[in-house]
């Protein structure tokens, strides 16, 4: 019976496989076998046939472990008991000197390495989609809005470049955070490595090298939980950034704006209103991002554990970590699909820009008056006065400026007409787009290099 929507509705099969219970169990057994190798290499265990241990434990299932755990009440001991039942005397040194979280935290590191690789790859794809839009629509005029009101002219390419920059910052955060998050912990009951009688550093180094992990510099019984809090926080930031783009699409899809649209195809918009074409994918992103942000508080609460550890973090992390990664996987994947089918309406963008009849160039007029020797504050007052009057009388700002005696005493008709050019008031938008794309490309190069 499936209860959680992450089991059947949200998240890719690729990410689900990472957090599949069989995969998680296999990761913990892999850690135990790597430790067994290290114990022999460091002179703490007799020679063992690792392949035999790996083989006899291969068929252990989570159902079997669950049955044992119900008997004895301890998850890691249940795994050890399952190995012992299947491997017998060969498993003599399994878990020697270790504590449960040596296995759990190191298995989490292996799992998160896989999960973060999926997130990075999808985030790169998302940035590439936006890069294509930014370059193809570098010069596509539209109105820039602040407070939901027309502000200044911009281009769709410039708007896309802002999202490229934000998502690239998250890609950088993921790359940088991995070196703090994806680390193994092999340090014994309170972190002093006492069970390995002075050879703990050897055991740590050998075990983790077999697994391709770096160790935490120091730990208690558990790896420091700030790493998981950082993981959840940066995923929540990324989810919120993507929600901002989703909200942008939702707003610009409104019929009275109609500048962008999800590619709805034959998708049903409403069970009762056949005309509806709703931004349901973008709305889904908004809903899931809210849940994702809710994970942050619990992950922060897991940092202050008692002394060398208590168990209050364990139950919540079983929920927080897989759900966080499956949620962000769904959010990123959905936005990729939205951008793949995104419809763009440049004519509507131009019409909306012109609908405010030149008022978006009020700043340009104010600065032109200032250039002519008028105090900047006085110029602001003049332009605000004629702008408000033009709106009341349903005139363009240029029309009202040409009628205003004070403005005409300062600027000629030709000078005024030159002020009201949308394409001449876009500033350094081209250079800024290029700068955002260059930064993104540098982050993509780092991410690809990390994957190789």
pLDDT at 268: 52
Locate tokens 């908004």: which residue? 286
For residues 115 and 210, give the distance between their C-alpha atoms in angstroms, rounded to a whole number. Answer: 20
Please identify every residue annotated as catalytic: 147, 270
pLDDT at 8: 83
What 3-state DSSP class applies to 145?
A: strand
pLDDT at 270: 55
- With contact defined as beta carbons under 8 Å apart, do 240 and 163 qualify? no
pLDDT at 7: 80
Q: Work out whether strand 214-215 and strand 260-261 pair parallel, antiparallel, or are unpaired.
A: unpaired
For residues 6 and 207, give the distance between their C-alpha atoms in angstroms, rounded to a whole number. Answer: 33
- Nearest in space to 42 (alpha carbons), one of 204, 278, 270, 263: 204
What 3-state DSSP class applies to 248?
A: helix
For residues 159 and 150, give the distance between their C-alpha atoms in angstroms, rounded to a whole number. Answer: 14
User: Phi and psi of 253, rounded to 5°?
Assistant: -90, -10
pLDDT at 136: 98
For residues 90 and 146, give the distance between their C-alpha atoms in angstroms, rounded to a whole number. Answer: 69
Q: Which DSSP letter does residue 19 get?
A: T
pLDDT at 53: 84
Q: Counting beta carbons within 10 angstroms of the beta carbon of residue 79, is it exposed (0 to 12), middle (13 to 18) or buried (19 or more)?
A: buried
- With contact defined as beta carbons under 8 Å apart, do 260 and 252 qualify? yes
pLDDT at 267: 63
- From first to last of its 452 residues, the chain has per-residue pLDDT tens of 678 888 888 999 999 999 999 999 999 999 999 999 999 999 998 887 777 888 888 889 999 999 999 999 999 999 999 999 999 888 889 999 999 999 999 999 999 999 999 999 999 999 999 999 999 999 999 999 999 999 999 999 999 999 999 999 999 999 999 999 999 999 999 999 999 999 999 999 999 999 999 999 999 999 999 999 999 999 999 999 999 999 999 999 999 999 999 986 556 555 555 566 789 999 999 999 999 999 999 999 999 999 999 999 999 999 999 999 999 999 999 999 999 999 999 999 999 999 999 999 999 999 999 999 999 999 999 999 999 999 999 999 999 999 999 999 999 999 999 999 999 999 999 999 999 999 999 999 999 877 76
* Torsional sign, CA 204, 206, 211, 217: positive
Task: Spell out the domains of the chain, with CATH numbers in brackets.
Answer: 5-350+433-451 (1.20.200.10), 359-419 (1.10.40.30)
- With contact defined as beta carbons under 8 Å apart, do 388 and 352 qualify? no
Q: What would the two tokens of residue 230 be? A: 């950082």
How many of the other CB atoms lie within 10 Å of CB of 314?
15
Q: What would the two tokens of residue 68 be? A: 């044992």
């Amino acid at each position: 019976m499936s209860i959680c929507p992450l089991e059947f509705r949200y998240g890719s099969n690729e990410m689900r496989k990472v957090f599949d219970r069989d995969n998680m169990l296999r990761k913990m057994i892999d850690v135990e076998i790597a430790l067994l190798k290290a114990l022999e290499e460091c002179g703490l265990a007799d020679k063992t046939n690792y392949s035999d241990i790996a083989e006899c434990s291969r068929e252990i299932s989570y159902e079997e472990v669950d049955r044992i755990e119900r008997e004895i009440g301890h998850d890691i001991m249940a795994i050890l008991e399952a190995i012992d039942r299947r491997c017998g005397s060969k498993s003599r040194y399994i878990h020697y000197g270790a504590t449960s979280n040596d296995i759990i935290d190191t298995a989490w590191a292996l799992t998160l390495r896989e999960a973060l690789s999926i997130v990075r790859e999808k985030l790169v794809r998302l940035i590439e989609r936006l890069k294509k839009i930014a370059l193809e629509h570098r010069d596509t005029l539209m109105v820039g809005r602040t407070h939901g009101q027309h502000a200044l002219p911009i281009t769709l390419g410039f708007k896309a470049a802002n999202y490229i920059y934000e998502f690239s910052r998250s890609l950088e955060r993921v790359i940088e955070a991995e070196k703090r998050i994806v680390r193994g912990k092999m340090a014994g009951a309170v972190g002093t490595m006492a069970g390995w009688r002075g050879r703990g550093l050897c055991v740590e180094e050998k075990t983790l090298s077999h697994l391709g992990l770096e160790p935490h510099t120091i730990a208690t019984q558990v790896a420091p939980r700030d790493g998981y809090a950082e993981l959840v926080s940066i995923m929540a930031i990324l989810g919120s950034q993507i929600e901002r783009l989703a909200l942008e699409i939702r707003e610009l899809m409104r019929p009275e704006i109609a500048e962008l649209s999800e590619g709805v195809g034959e998708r049903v918009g409403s069970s009762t209103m056949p005309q509806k074409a709703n931004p349901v994918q973008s709305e889904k992103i908004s809903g899931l991002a809210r849940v994702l942000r809710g994970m942050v508080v619990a992950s922060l609460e897991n940092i202050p554990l008692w002394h060398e550890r208590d168990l209050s973090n364990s139950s919540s992390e079983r929920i927080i970590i897989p759900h966080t990664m499956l949620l962000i996987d769904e959010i990123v994947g959905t936005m990729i699909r939205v951008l793949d089918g995104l419809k763009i309406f440049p004519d509507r963008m131009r019409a909306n820009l012109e609908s405010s009849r030149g008022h978006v160039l009020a700043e340009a007029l104010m600065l032109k008056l200032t250039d002519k020797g008028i105090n900047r504050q006085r110029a602001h007052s003049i332009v605000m006065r004629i702008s408000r009057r033009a709106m009341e009388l349903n005139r363009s700002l240029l029309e009202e400026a040409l009628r205003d005696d004070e403005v005409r005493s300062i600027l000629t008709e030709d000078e005024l007409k030159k002020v009201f050019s949308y394409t001449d008031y876009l500033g350094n938008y081209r250079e800024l787009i290029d700068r955002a794309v260059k930064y993104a490309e540098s982050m993509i190069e780092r991410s690809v290099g990390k994957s190789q």
